[in-house]
Structure 1
Amino acid sequence: MHQLAKWIVIGFVALSSLMTTGCYDRQELEQQAFVTVMGIDKAPNNMVDCSLQIAVPKTPGSGGGSSSGSPLSAAAPLTFRAHSITEALMMANTSVERSITLSHLSTVIFGRSLAEGGLQSVIQPFVRYREFRRTMFVAVAQGTAQEVMASNKPVLEHSSSRMADSIYVMGGRVGLFPVTQLNDLITAMETPHQDVILPLYAVNQSIKDNPKGGAIKSGEVFQPGSEARSGGNPVEWIGGALFKGDKMKDTLSGTDMIYLRMLRGTVKTTNIDFQINKQREGAVGIYIRKERSPDIKVVLSNPVKVKVTLAFDADLVSEPATKQASVISREDKIKRLIEKKLEEHIKEVLKKVYNQDKLDPIPLSNHIRGHFRTYHQFVSYDWTNKLKTLQPDVSVKLSIRRFGKRLEPVTER
């Protein structure tokens, strides 16, 4: 009996060793090419141009001397024309010395022409292929994704992955562009009465033509690709691309994006300047912090009415030179001026997005679900056509907490 038990144990151990995993399919780090950024553009004959930016591992310099670049600085992007993304990735293995892997892919950029035509045809691999993570950031190029990737010259970061993380952390602090992940895009495409907005990447041609800087050419404030500046990275990330389903319909400037993100409750802090009159004699500048989430009430009347209440804390950071009394004595007047300006601008954005474009990126549809007894009734409701006559009512409650380091402006005696 003892001998039988011994052979049973030996047989069990032998069989177990056959079922354990081995390392026959292992891949060493030196055998992999890590893609950090992917760009997808529309190409002729129903094909796509797939651009890949590959991290180039480098050995950090030893001793006190500084090493050139980052341990994961990126090589120039490579572009492959194929019938699909997966085919392009396979083609990349014919000219890249290492096996292509997407485990470090942080950002996917869609070209504008592709986005306007619809992402339905290219989005399928992102859902099914195991290496595409839904936490990847997605964006739209003002022109082509290939141009944006080729023109990108970071000011500080050398690692593409770290650059993406830094940009999108900053997005939550300034509000000039949305922070959108692949999961947000897919969820909006699959959810009735809900639209998505992606950040816009644009190439500033004047910076690209004169990278060393020089005289500032005419430009527009907070407009993608048109910023009036000199030197730095030719690529700008500002504003948003509005989508209806899988198709891009319109764009928003950086300023409009701040107001839309206020309505969504996704901007924590930001700076805003208001011109006090048409002569632009001066501006009132405030630093805003979100006090609480937006209070939104939707009435399904004809037309649909929306009441939005926003509450903010603010620091006064600038005001026009004046010989008037201390700012404390004028606090109520300044507060009413800022509240009125905020209400006007936010209402303009609502009319543009909802009345003109008939889109719902906030989405307000989340606030009407309780009006329907069943999900089928909610889906069948003609929400899109109701948006063109939607009547917004915006109320802003501002609390000015601080007035800066002094109470009186600097004036000439």
Structure 2
Amino acid sequence: MTAEVRRAVDAAFRDEWGRLVAALIRSTGDWDLAEECAQEAFAHALRTWPRDGIPQRPGAWLTTTARHRAVDRLRRETVGTAKLREAALVIPEPGPGDGGVPDDLLRLIFTCCHPALSLEARVALTLRTVAGLSTAEIARALLVGEAAMAKRLTRAKAKIRHAGIPYRVPPAHLLPERTPAVLGVLYLLFSEGYAASVGAHLLRGDLCDEATHLARVLADLLPGEPEVLGLLALLLLHDARRAARTEPDGQLVPLEDQDRTAWDRAAIAEGLAVLDRALHHRAPGPYQVQAAIAACHATAADAADTDWAQIAALYGCLTRWRPSPVVELNRAVAVGMADGPAAGLELVAALERTGALAGYHLLPATRADLLRRLGHHADAAAAYRAALELARTDAERHYLRRRLAELTRSPGGSHR
């Protein structure tokens, strides 16, 4: 097989998998059959494209091949007569500009993210059916055993079948209450890729890529939804910094120390443009606010140029939509940068008294950084040690150890 064919198949898989599975599910009503026939179509492409050449329209070729596989499979089933008639009638041969395919994909995304399913099931099912990850890949990404993940996927599909969860985009009057579930899943997927909760690596680029890709799809299909645009802008602006967030050996580089020439300026420009489109709707929401915070960082010429007062104000706005101790902790960081570390410490102390972030390593890590900036090095070292005991990724542990070592080596501390 030539490298050109491999690239073509890989590109087709990324671009067409979700649409192909969506069309097959719509016609057959059988999730497992749809996935199996889609897999067979790609396997057939690997065998025949080296011999016959890459088709002019790979998506159409794959859809036709998968359709034939589905019809053949249903024909062999003794109880498949009704499904066979449906499959033969409902899956049309794809034509140029077929407007039904994106609708199918949107139905699939909303079905995977139906609020009747648990959050864990939504994430797993979205990765499986929309992004095309294997069960083993999803299990590794979400840090679950492969057998357990297989059971989770089976249960999710069974619930869709037995509970009669409709395979459709919700009617207009239900969209406002259903779209947040979809956005929440995509945000969670990106967050796990951007800052992994456990493991040897801080970043999981494949999860960032998949979440951003799906956010693009959703923004294309719901262009009038400002929060959809807000989420896409947020992901683009955060992911633009990916290359600068770790050293070659995987160690974490804090924001103020990142090489801003390594930031993806095209992604930043796109993110800012998408955020602009969202804000023009004059219907603000939490994803737009978070994107505005990310824009403050992305447009600062250097760390000293960051508008921390604006960021602190935006976090204050965010607490009205998303009141949570993590948001309050982020606001404490911003206040500490805008008004001085003592002001930030007051907010951190208030959070500590609530106990809401007990066991969360970034709480003592934030306290440590503020104390370090105040020159209280012994207290800062104790807080860094507390954070180190709670950190769950190697990259975060390396970073905290480095900070602790800096305090130990220099009586004056490090004010990087």
Asked if these proteins are the same fold (TM beyond 0.5), I'd say no
More strand by share: 1
Q: What's the TM-score once normalised by structure 2's chain length?
A: 0.28
More helix by share: 2
Q: What's the TM-score once normalised by structure 1's chain length?
A: 0.28
Higher relative contact order (CA 8 A, sep 6+): 1
- Structure whose alpha-carbon radius of gyration is higher: 1
